[in-house]
Amino acid sequence: MHAFSARLAALLPALLMSTGLAAAPDPADWDAVLDEARGQTVYWYAWAGDQRTNDYIDWVAGRVDERFDVTLEHVKIGNTAEAVSRVLAEKQAGNDDAGNVDLIWINGENFAAMKENDLLFGPFAHALPNFALTRPEQNPEVVTDFTLPTEGYESPWGRAQITYYYDSDAFRGDSGEVETPPQDVDELLAWARANPGRFTYPRIPDFTGSTFLKQALIELSDQGEALYAPVEESDFAAVTAPLWDYLDALHPHLWRSGRQFPASGPEMRSLMGDGALSLAFTFTPSEPAAAVADYELPESTRSYVPKSGTLGNVHFVAIPFNSPHQAGAMVVSNFLLSPEAQATKQDLDVWGDRTVLDVARLEEADRALFTLETSNPAMLPAGALERTLPEPHPSWMTALQDAWQARYIGQ
């Protein structure tokens, strides 16, 4: 009996590993994480609405397979909430160690929902070897998501900020000079009235469209401090009244008179490329320049950030509590923070998504990887992204989406 017990004890780690019941890997023991990750398949649930993003994830998959013997499968979804709902359903069904989701591209309200429902593995981010390259002590945005401290439960991946872009030929006055595009939402409304059908925003609950609502509300509200506390602590109707008045005035002058909206940011970009719009916006600052390089937008495209500044944030990846491949997910998360992966992501020929690394503090050879393309006419001017407005509390995004749907769609 004792001999059998000894054999069972020796076999137990392997048995647990094969059934997905192994103890969670210790992020602080990185060599052990690398060993455990070998041979794992990581299922990464990530938005798949832009081919550049999909191609970049394919590139990452090739690298982590080659270097770490980790297979990365991109599970393509249209909305991050799909992945969150799946993890929540698994928890409610008692599936605590054999989930289908290993990694999620996430931020904001979905991170808040997962954290509130104890759906996250961690803390792990601070233990990733490459996390130090973000210099979090000097860059607090990499450890804060929509006002909420991440506490190591998600790892930063890229930066986003509302950036407007326009066809400079459409803004060229009689003298031949390019007129100044709208610099705030009031000027935007005036421009839309003078140029009906030449601007729009994505249909809610698309993330880019919802971000436009928050941007407009920040500019219009005289109760801005309320936006950085949970929405239930404020008079929602009173705080948002200026936004609905504004949208009521704006919608008749939008593309298709506001009766139809593009489904996403990429679809809005296509409308710009087709000449249906003269002014648009994105949450990826380098997107217009990348689209010009790919001949999706005309060379007359220009980018800018209004003088009043625009909403910006960091997007992250997180690991569900019941992922059976947490070691592999950590290895992928760490690779995403490597100078090679971050520089490739920022390359206009790849994606154009800005890095979360503190480039000035990198080794000289790594800094050289981040040299920006300056000849592209659609690139933002230097310093344009310094005027960044912080994200409201995540509860505001859900409340705004619901209110928009009720007001303009009736559901």
Is the pLDDT score of 17 beyond 70?
no
The pLDDT value given to residue 349: 87
If pLDDT is split at 50, 70 and 90, which confidence band does 200 have? very high
The pLDDT value given to residue 97: 93
Q: In the CATH scheme, what architecture does the domain 24-159+314-377 have?
A: 3-Layer(aba) Sandwich (3.40)
260-304 pLDDT, tens per residue? 999 999 999 999 999 999 999 999 999 999 999 889 999 999 999
Strand order in the sheet with 279-282: 279-282, 163-167, 301-304
Compute CA distances 175 → 172, 181, 272, 358, whole Å.
8, 16, 24, 43
136-174 pLDDT, tens per residue? 999 999 999 998 999 999 999 999 999 999 999 999 887
- Put simply, whether the predicted model's pTM sits higher than 0.85 gets the answer yes
Is the pLDDT score of 9 beyond 50?
no
DSSP label of 172: B
The pLDDT value given to residue 393: 94
If pLDDT is split at 50, 70 and 90, which confidence band does 19 have? very low
Asked if omega into 136 is within 30° of 0 (cis), the reply is no
> Using CB atoms within 10 A of its CB, is residue 2 exposed (0-12), middle (13-18) or buried (19+)?
exposed
pLDDT > 70 in the chain, percent:
94
Locate CATH 3.40.190.10 in the chain: 24-159+314-377, 163-313+386-409
102-126 pLDDT, tens per residue? 999 998 889 999 999 999 999 999 9
User: CA 343 to CA 369: how far, in whole Å?
Assistant: 6
Is the pLDDT score of 91 beyond 60?
yes
Half-sphere CA count of 209, side-chain side, radius 13 A: 23
Query: Which tokens belong to 392?
Result: 């409201």
Mean pLDDT of 86-99: 97
Is the pLDDT score of 68 beyond 50?
yes
If pLDDT is split at 50, 70 and 90, which confidence band does 4 have? very low
The pLDDT value given to residue 287: 92
The pLDDT value given to residue 1: 41
Q: What is the domain class of 163-313+386-409 according to CATH? A: alpha beta
